[in-house]
C-alpha cells in the first residue's frame, strides 16, 4: 500500500500525518490538474490578448504614416479607440505612433487564396517579412483544405471587400472554413479575412 503526507491544518503543532493514498478524497488529489488547467487557460487567453494587441498596434503604426495626429487622421483615431476598447496600454499606443519613422520594415499586403471547393478568400496582412508571411499562410491553407492563389485570381470575386456572388456552402465546408479562418486570425500579421461565403457562421 502507498502512503502520502497531509499537513495537519487543524493543529499545525502536531505536524503532518501519513495516510494511505487510496483513502485520500478526490478533492485533495485533483488540485494539481485543476490548477494546471486554469494555468493553461490563462496562458491561452494571454496569448490571444497578445495577438490582438500586436494586430492593433501594427495597424496604428501604418495608419500614422501620413498624419500622426489622430485629430486629423480618422483611420488612426478609429484604431486608437479600438485599442483602448481592447485595453491596450496608452504607452504602447504612443510607442506605435512614434514608430512611424521606422515603418519601412512594415508592409501592407493582401493575399488571395482559395478555401475548400473554390471558396474565394482575401487575407489582409501587415508584416515585416512578406516572404515569411506568404510561406506561413500558404502552410496554414494547405493543411486545411485551401491554397494560395495568384495575384488577381480571387480579387475579381469582390467589390472592395464585399463578395459579388455570395455562395451558400455545406455544413462540412463551413466547419473547415471556420477552423481555417480561426487559425489565420491567430496570426498577429493577419489583420482581416474576407470570403465570398453567404453562411452567417463565418
Instruction: Read off the C-alpha cell for 18.
Output: 501519513
Pick the CATH number of 106-195 from 3.30.70.360, 3.30.70.980, 3.30.300.30, 3.40.50.2300: 3.30.70.980
Where are the domains positioned within the chain? 31-104, 106-195
Question: What values do phi and psi take at 197, rounded to 5?
Answer: -90, 135
Q: CB neighbours (10 Å) of residue 155?
A: 14
Q: Which pLDDT belongs to residue 32?
A: 43
HSE value, Cβ hemisphere, 13 Å, CA-based, for 168:
0
Q: Which pLDDT belongs to residue 200?
A: 61
Q: CB neighbours (10 Å) of residue 60?
A: 26
Q: 31-104: what CATH class?
A: mainly alpha
Rounded Cα distance between 51 and 200, Å, is 25
Task: Work out the angle at residue 166's Cα, subtended by the Cα atoms of residues 144 and 145, and round it to the nearest 5 degrees.
Answer: 10
pLDDT along the chain (202 residues), means of 10: 44 47 42 46 69 93 91 95 94 90 79 95 95 96 95 94 92 94 94 88 64
Q: CB neighbours (10 Å) of residue 127?
A: 22
Sheet containing 147-148: order of strands: 147-148, 107-114, 120-127, 190-195
Indicate the pairing of strand 3-6 with strand 17-20. antiparallel
* Cβ–Cβ under 8 Å, residues 100 and 64: yes
Question: What values do phi and psi take at 103, rounded to 5?
Answer: -80, 5
Residue 150 gets which letter from DSSP?
P
Q: Which pLDDT belongs to residue 104?
A: 60
Question: What values do phi and psi take at 124, rounded to 5?
Answer: -85, 130
Instruction: Read off the C-alpha cell for 93.
Output: 499606443
* Cβ–Cβ under 8 Å, residues 63 and 73: yes
Q: Which pLDDT belongs to residue 49?
A: 86
Indicate the pairing of strand 3-6 with strand 107-114. unpaired
HSE value, Cβ hemisphere, 13 Å, CA-based, for 180:
31
Amino acid at each position: 500500500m502507498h502512503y502520502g503526507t497531509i499537513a495537519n491544518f487543524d493543529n499545525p503543532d502536531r505536524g503532518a500525518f501519513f495516510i494511505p493514498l487510496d483513502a485520500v478524497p478526490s478533492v485533495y488529489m485533483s488540485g494539481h490538474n485543476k490548477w494546471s488547467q486554469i494555468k493553461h487557460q490563462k496562458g491561452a487567453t494571454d496569448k490571444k490578448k497578445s495577438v490582438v494587441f500586436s494586430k492593433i498596434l501594427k495597424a496604428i503604426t501604418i495608419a500614422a504614416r501620413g498624419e500622426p495626429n489622430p485629430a486629423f487622421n480618422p483611420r488612426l483615431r478609429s484604431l486608437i479607440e479600438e485599442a483602448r476598447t481592447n485595453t491596450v496600454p496608452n504607452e504602447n499606443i504612443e510607442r506605435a505612433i512614434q514608430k512611424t519613422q521606422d515603418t519601412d520594415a512594415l508592409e501592407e499586403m493582401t493575399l488571395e487564396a482559395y478555401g475548400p471547393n473554390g471558396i474565394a478568400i482575401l487575407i489582409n496582412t501587415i508584416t515585416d517579412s512578406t516572404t515569411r508571411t506568404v510561406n506561413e499562410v500558404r502552410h496554414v491553407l494547405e493543411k486545411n483544405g485551401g491554397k494560395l492563389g495568384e495575384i488577381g485570381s480571387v480579387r475579381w470575386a469582390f467589390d472592395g471587400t464585399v463578395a459579388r456572388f455570395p455562395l451558400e456552402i455545406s455544413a462540412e465546408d463551413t466547419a473547415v472554413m471556420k477552423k481555417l479562418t480561426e487559425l489565420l486570425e491567430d496570426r498577429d500579421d493577419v489583420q482581416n479575412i474576407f470570403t465570398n461565403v453567404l453562411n452567417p457562421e463565418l
